Structure 1
Amino acid sequence: MSTTIELNASVRTEVGKGASRRLRHADKVPAVLYGAGKDAVALTLEHNKVLQAQEHEHFYSQVLHLNIDGEKVEAIVKDMQRHPFKPKVTHLDFQRVSADQALHTTVPVHFLNEEAATKAGGVVSHHIAEIEVSCLPKDLPEFIEVDVAGLSVGETLHLTDVKFPAGVSSVELAKGADHDVAVVTIDKPKGAAEDDAEEEAAEE
């Protein structure tokens, strides 16, 4: 488990596009904190601290500790806006978390043993890079592992094949069996697939 990320924040009273623009010019990031049945709070964070923190993968999928004018608040990142071409974060949305309330968020997928599939002559095709999960904050995984070692060429692994940690469930699967999306496929190399197609055409 990675080290918990902590960020200092201050409550801001000036809101609106003009105020946010002035904050960005001062190397600050405007943000908002909401959720857990409490009123939304407008915040300000140091841009360089946010930029450093967001380089870590678990910044987007783990519970963060916000120090808001001395008050400790646990939250997750729900949305982050960036400048179109500059390495700059322009706005953040945080959602408060409560220890006894399930949260919905996305966690990255880590694929294991891909080299075994490639050595067997297959090409690994990822269909998704993250999975939306539901769980209590204490059960939130840093990532979901998907092992492709048992897949043969031409086979696909779906959400129902993924082994979720205890206390963690798929939000998509909860919508019904028709939401059992593909996660990863072991395809045939392009040349081999074309050869097979030509052979089938010739047989017909």
Structure 2
Amino acid sequence: MSTVIQANSRETGHHSNLTSLRKEGYVPGVVYGFQVESTPIAISARELEKTLREDGRNAVITLEVEDKNVQAVLNDIQKDNLKGDYLHIDFLAINMSDALEVAVPITVVGESTGVKEGGVLQQPNRELTLNVKPSDIPESIEVDISGLAIGDTITINDIRDQVEFEIVDDDELTLVIISAPVSAAELETDTEIEEPVADNGADE
């Protein structure tokens, strides 16, 4: 069952209207896509925050727009970098029978032997792009790092056959690296800064 959010139609063309909406606790947005003309809407910032917290970014949402229920997913969110307030949100109306591309977070599980030996776990990429039906979107994809030694890596190619969904990303995309530990001497070398030679202005 999808989350239900009340979406109110809103007027466009006036910046002051957007400011007023935000002050009243609403986030201006738009919904477009499957069997829906682009429609300006406003939703409760509190409801949006609750949905993101409880259901995640990839949740299928039922938008109640006037007298119509629209199945949609979050397509884009704009936030104020300083205040953290939501500025604008895009919803993509979807056909529940059709697959779509979504970014799903990676969850690392297991204990790496390399990490136990002092190695450093690195995750250059923390999401997978999947082609999946809306009703089947997983909360995350688990990647098992058990047995990885220092210097070992995991790429898309290593897990493609283990994931039940179609992965869109290239095989070469690296997900996990177990790097060698950095010694105190190496750290000191990396951070050492040469002191400039004083110029006393004397001629040779």
* TM-score, length-scaled by structure 2: 0.80
Q: Decide which of 8, 11, 19 is 2:9's aligned counterpart.
A: 11
Q: Which of 144, 165, 178 is the aligned partner of 1:186? A: 178
- Quote the offset at 1:72 in angstroms: 2.6
> Partner residue of 1:138?
135
Q: Residue 68 of structure 1 aligns with which residue?
A: 65
Choose between structure 1 and 2: higher helix proportion.
1
> Number of residues paired by the alignment?
186
Query: Does residue 118 in structure 1 map to residue 115 in structure 2?
Result: yes
Select which of 67, 78, 81 maps to 2:78.
81
Aligned equivalent of 2:195: none
Identity of aligned residues (%): 26
| Residue 97 (str. 1) matches residue 94 (str. 2) | yes
In structure 1, the gaps of 5 or more residues are 195-204
Structure 1 126/84 Cα, relative in aligned 2: closer, same or farther at 3 Å? same
Task: Give unpaired runs (5+ residues) of structure 2.
Answer: 187-204
Q: Summarize deviations over 1:13-58 as a string: whole Å, max 9, x none.
A: 33443322221122111011111253111111111222232234x4
Residue in 2 that maps onto 1:160 = 157
What is the alpha-carbon distance in structure 1 between the residues aligned to residue 10 and residue 29 of structure 2? 9
Q: Could you tell me the TM-score, scaled by structure 1's length? A: 0.80
1:157 Cα shift? 0.3
Aligned-pair Cα RMSD in Å: 2.5
Q: Once the 2 structures are TM-superposed, how far is the Cα of residue 68 of structure 1 from its aligned partner?
A: 2.4
- Mark the structure with the bigger radius of gyration: 2
Q: Give the one of 165, 170, 175 matched to 2:167.
A: 170
Assess if the C-alpha contact under 8 Å between 2:71 and 2:93 holds in 1: yes
Q: Quick one: distance in 2 between partners of 1:114 and 1:72?
A: 45
Q: Which runs of 4+ in 1 moved over 6 A?
A: none
* SS across alignment from 1:24: helix
